[in-house]
Structures are given as C-alpha cells and as structure tokens.
Amino acid sequence: MKLSPVEQLFTLFNETAVILQEELSCSYLEALAETGENLFQGAILQDELSELTLKRLKKVYEETHLVKYSNEDIRKAYQLVILKGMKENVQPNHQMTPDSIGMLMGYLVERFVKQPAFRLLDPAVGTGNLVTTVLNHVHKEITAIGAEVDDILIKLAYVNANLQEHPVEFFNQDSLEPLFIDPVDAVIADLPIGYYPNDIRAADYQLKASKGHSFSHHLFIEQSVKHTKPGGYLFFLIPNGLFESEQAPQLHEFIKENVIIQGLLQLPPTMFKNKQSAKSILVLQKKGEGVQPPKEALLVNLPSLSNAVAMDKILTKIEKWFQDNKG
C-alpha cells in the first residue's frame, strides 16, 4: 500500500533521527533537529559519524526530495515525529498546539489583520508548530519572530521553519526578559500557564503578584501588549479560568487600560482531558488613535471542529460579525 506524503516524510525523519540518536548518543529530539538540518542544507553535517552510518544516511536522504512535498505535509510529519520524541522524554513544558487550533488562529489572523504585509510575534514559540501553521494558512506577506527559552525546542523550531522555507527570526531567551525587537502588528501565543520563578524580573511588570510568584501567562500578556503597535491585534490561547484566579482583578484592570476585547472563542470541551484544562482563544486589540471597540464582542462557543455542519453555521455567524463590526 502506497504511503501518504505525511507518512513518507514521517518515515524519513524518524529513520534518520534514530540512526543519528544511536551514533551521536543524544536524545531523539536532538537527533531530529540534526537530521532536519542535514535535509535543509543538503549535506550530512556531523563529522563524527562512521563510514557505515554515513552510507545509511546518504541512501535514505537521496531517496527523498523535499521539493515535491507541500509545507503542510512537511509541518505535519515533523510535528508527528516531535510528538513521538516528547512521549519518549516527557517534559511538562514540552507541549504542542493542536493543528485545529493553529488553523483557527490562522483564520482569525487573516480576518482581523488587514495589512497585506505585517510583522508577527510568537513569544512562546516552542517547536514552531503554531507559527508555521499560521504562516501556511495566512496568504499575506508576514515577517515572523519567535522567542523560546528551551534550547532543544528552539532548534526544532528553527529547523521546522527552514524545511518549510519560512524566514522566521528566532531568539533563544526567556521572553519575559527584555525583548530587543521592533513593535509588531500582531501576536499569537499558546500562553505558558503557571508561576514565573524570577520574582526580581517579575517586579518590573504591572501584572506582578502582590505576594508570592506572579503568573507567567499574565506577564506574557503584558509583554506581548508592550511589543505590539497601537491598533495591533493579539491572539492568545488561554485557560478558561483566566479571569477567575486570585490575580484576575489586576488583569482586568490592565486589559481595561491597554486593550479592547474583540472576541472570545471557547473551544469545544471534547478537545481537552477535563473541564479544568479547557481553553479559549482571546482576541485583543491594542488601544491607539482611531481604534474603536466593536459594537459587540465576538463571543462564540465552538462545536466539535470535526462537525462540518455545525462549524459551517458558526463560521457564517463569525463572518456576519465581521460584516457588522469591521465593515
């Protein structure tokens, strides 16, 4: 039976990563980044490999030509091998934004951001799956920037973007430290949930906790707003309980002062393990001259994303909202 393009690419990434993992005595994810770099450069870059391993790799690489695959095929296959690697070496901060959410984010970015060319920031870029999903689904000229503190994740993100030929600028740093970037037109982020351990750095933020550790997701919102141009949009994947925590009053105040809530799209509960882990997409617009709030915010409870009929109805409702509120 003939393999699909994604299955063919998965086999390529997986086989070559396993070979490199054994030879280099490194983790699967590190080996995956190495094989991705080899494929992008069109050469085997590891000097310390044995002759036998070089021959094995060369044979597999020569049988595959990436140019015949779409960006989405490459992204999906790469995502699957990363997920395999994450299962083998589970770390709580290594999680990937599901495809369906990335595509929905892409749709929202396309509809809200009117400029034909704009700058986009993902301050929690991880493996680059969310940002490359958006880049693959938004048909505009985007200059993308990603920041990530984890060394392995950002290397995977860099290779991910290269294989899909997306010119993303990456910063390997804690995004809550100073970001030396020009203001952007839009931000996307699957917000890292939890407490931020650096109380000294958190003290520089308006959304710092009055006592104890501050919420990292609150600080990410503030940092993102700071680096967005007036009138720019922010698209956050948030926990449904974002506005119910003990630090929520400060967040309410910050949002009232700095941004307009354009929309809140609650994702179907079936996407999540339990009610506590359920999430929504929050759409904000930074205040600025001439920026007007919508007549009413876009409030949507999304049905199962696999229910085509129900999704069509919801998308029709969303399009009607854009006509009434965005002209």
State whether 156 and 35 are in the same domain.
no
State whether 13 and 160 are in the same domain.
no
Q: Are 13 and 78 in contact (CB under 8 A)?
A: yes
State whether 120 and 51 are in the same domain.
no
Q: Tokens at residue 219, please? A: 């600080």
Looking at 88, 119, 140, which one is the last position of a domain?
88
Structural domain includes residue 200: yes
Range of the domain at 104: 99-326
State whether 227 and 152 are in the same domain.
yes
pLDDT at 71: 96
CA atoms of 264 and 168, how far apart (whole Å): 28
The 10s digit of each residue's pLDDT in 157-207 is 999 999 999 999 999 999 999 999 999 999 999 999 999 999 999 999 999
State whether 60 and 41 are in the same domain.
yes
Q: Are 99 and 133 in contact (CB under 8 A)?
A: yes
Structural domain includes residue 234: yes
**Sheet of strand 117-122, all strands in order from the earlier edge strand to the far edge:** 168-172, 141-148, 117-122, 184-190, 228-239, 279-286, 259-266, 298-301
State whether 225 and 272 are in the same domain.
yes
pLDDT at 157: 97
CATH number, position 203: 3.40.50.150
State whether 119 and 84 are in the same domain.
no
CATH number, position 75: 1.10.150.470
pLDDT at 269: 86
pLDDT at 271: 86
Structural domain includes residue 253: yes
**Total number of domains in the chain:** 2
State whether 128 and 160 are in the same domain.
yes
Looking at 41, 60, 88, which one is the last position of a domain?
88
3-state helix, strand, coil in the chain (%, to 5): 50, 20, 35
Structural domain includes residue 207: yes
CA atoms of 210 and 230, how far apart (whole Å): 28
Structural domain includes residue 315: yes
In this prediction, the residues of the chain whose per-residue pLDDT falls under 50 are none
Q: Are 39 and 61 in contact (CB under 8 A)?
A: yes
Structural domain includes residue 111: yes
Q: Are 144 and 166 in contact (CB under 8 A)?
A: yes
pTM of structure = 0.94
CA atoms of 178 and 171, how far apart (whole Å): 11
Structural domain includes residue 93: no
Amino acid at 13: F
The 10s digit of each residue's pLDDT in 16-46 is 999 999 999 999 999 999 999 999 999 999 9
Question: DSSP string spanning 86-152?
Answer: HHHT--TT-----HHHHHHHHHHHHHH---SEEEEEETT-TTSHHHHHHHHH--SEEEEEEEES-HH
State whether 71 and 42 are in the same domain.
yes
Looking at 40, 58, 88, which one is the last position of a domain?
88
CA atoms within 13 A on the CB side of 53: 18
Structural domain includes residue 94: no
